[in-house]
Structure 1
Amino acid sequence: MMQTKLRLGLVFPGGGCEADFYRFERDTGEAVRVYFAQARYGAVEGADHHPDALRETARVDWIVQAAHRLSQVPLDAVVWACTSGSFINGRRFAEEQARGIAAATGVPATSTSLAFAAAAHALSARKVSLLATYPQDTVAFFTSFLAEYGITVENSRSLGFDSGWISSGFDGDALLRAAEQAMAPGTQALLIPDTALPTLGVIDALEKRLGLPVLSANAVTLWHGMRTGGQVVPVSGLGTLLADFAEMPAA
């Protein structure tokens, strides 16, 4: 077992995909440790992927309240591990959100949406395809967010799930089929948002089938969390990003 090098605090709404993060921790030989805190989240008639619900989920005070529960751990970085709760109000808000979390906790911070932008740029992926669990009106907010970073969505597919709990039960075989249907010719990566969606176990298979990098919410969350914490530990078997992009300067 390797000595722990990096401690990441992951603040997330709901749950359902913790196994992805524990798998990553195991595959690093515990060189990276992850610590969870659950934040409050909004819902409109039980739908937490509704834009109005997400604007509540995005509240910095709720996120900080959860992050403070990790105060007994000497963290290297905190990640707001929620894609939709970080893109819903656009780029400026997402960046202010991360700064607010860092200021309140005294720990460098980022979010899953900021991680998507950073990862796409790291891979020089400016034209992408998108497979999103969210309803179409929520997908439009992510497309606009990416455009603010110069990333164009050439094609998107919405699975129409109105809750992260539905996403957490979507199996790998169905994900492989849906990913193929989301692809557009000439794109440089496939993006799969939603940290509730299990992806780390199928990223390698997806990349082999599609012939290009796949950036999932959980992969970019871990990668950018490590960068924000100052050191990226490479891990094979979990996709191109986590295996091959460890030597970039810290964000």
Structure 2
Amino acid sequence: MTALGFLYPGHSAEDDYPRIEQLLGSDIRLPLVHTDIGEDAHRVDALLEMGSTDRLAAGVEELRLSGAEAVVWACTSGSFVYGWEGAHDQVRSLALAAGMPASSTSFGFAHAVPEVGARRVAIAATYPDDVAALFAEFLTAAGIEVVSVSGSGIITAAEVGTWGRDEVLFLAEEGDHPSADAVLLPDTALHTASYISDLEKALSKPILTANQVTVWEALRLADRRVNAPELGTLFTKEPIVQV
């Protein structure tokens, strides 16, 4: 049995995690601890506070008691908002507090893009444009070419959490770009676990969504691979061999 821990901000789309656990269909548990988000706002100052060291450290003891072998900060905007170097500092502090390997959703995206063989990506974000642009900067620092960025201007995670299949499909289709090898939906407040196969069929390319890559990143930290076709290309593709 492998237990992988997640620190999830507030309450929006956390039910994606038991859904993903079910789809993995193996000896993997995904315990999740909610962190205090402070103000629910996709605004830089609020996001910096949401991802602060003290807020994250407060949840790690519960994850240790769950038997987690690795922990991922399940928040994209609350990690990339710190920038490339700051996001590294954030996960280093989390690993030290937790006493186990740590990462964040933002780094999950940075690792997942080359994993599916993509070089150019389109960002289809729920965020306001200024926050979406910071995610593009983060990916660029990771060596990924961002060919388009679209933001939906949604301020709160609570509103994003109400979106269903039709809204998610529209978001992905509107945010796609002809030259993109993959489309990224970066908000962990967005329900996507049940829609990834539909999204990939509709767009005919890999779709990377926040909760999907968060779980994949935790598996990567634990050196586990699981074939789960309903979770998309990321969970079916053989690893890219670096030469």
Same structural fold, with TM-score higher than 0.5 when normalized by the shorter chain = yes
Residue 144, structure 1, aligned to residue 144, structure 2: no
Q: Give the drift of 1:66.
A: 1.1
SS in 1 for 2:59: helix
Instruction: From 23, 37, 50, give the equivalent of 1:41.
Output: 37
1:83 pairs, out of 76, 84, 88, with: 76
Give the counterpart letter for 1:41 in structure 2: I
Instruction: Give yes or no for the alignment of 1:232 onto 2:232.
Output: no
CA contact (8 A) 1:25 1:31 kept: no
Partner of 1:102: 95
Residue 96 of structure 2 aligns to a residue whose secondary structure is: helix
Matched, 1:69 2:62: yes
Letter in 1 for 2:51: A
How far residue 195 of structure 1 moved from its aligned partner, in angstroms, is: 0.7
TM-fit CA distance, 1:18 = 2.0
Q: Which whole-Å CA distance do the structure 1 matches of 2:117 and 2:142 have between them?
A: 12
The CA RMSD over aligned residues, in Å, is 1.5
Percent identity over the alignment?
A: 38
159-168 vs 236-245, greater mean Cα deviation: 236-245
What is the Cα deviation at residue 232 of structure 1?
2.0
- Report the 3-state secondary structure (helix = DSSP H, G, I; strand = E; otherwise coil) of the residue aligned with 1:71: helix
Amino acid at match of 1:163: T
- Offset of 1:37 from its aligned partner? 1.1
Shift of 1:126: 2.1
Unaligned stretches of 5+ residues in structure 2: none
Q: Is the 8 A contact 1:115 1:221 kept in 2?
A: yes
Deviation string, structure 1 residues 98-126 (Cα, Å, up to 9, x no partner): 11111111111110000000001212322
Task: Rate the CA distance shift 1:84–1:224 in 2: closer, same or farther, 3 A.
Answer: same
| 1:165 equivalent in alignment to 2:161 | no
Residue matched to 2:178: 185
How much does 1:71 deviate? 2.3
Q: How does 1:199-238 map to 2 (within 5 A)?
A: 199-238=192-231
Give the distance between the partners of 2:240 and 2:139, measured in 1 at CA.
Answer: 21
Contact 1:219 1:242 in 2 (8 A): no
1:128 partnered with 2:124: no
Aligned mates of 2:167, 2:6 — CA distance in 1: 27
Instruction: Report the residue type matching 1:22 in the other structure.
Output: P
1:44-66, CA deviations, whole angstroms, 9 ceiling, x for partnerless residues?
A: xxx42111100101212210111
- The Cα offsets for residues 193-237 of structure 1, whole Å up to 9 and x where unpaired, read as 011100111111111111110000011001111110121222121
Alignment partners' CA distance in 2, 1:91 and 1:124: 22
Shift of 1:156: 1.8
TM-score calculated relative to the size of structure 2:
0.94
Alignment: residue pair count = 241
- Aligned mate of 2:51, from 58, 62, 74: 58
TM-superposed CA distance for 1:248, in Å, is 6.9
Amino acid paired to 2:115? A
2:15 aligned residue (14, 19, 26): 19
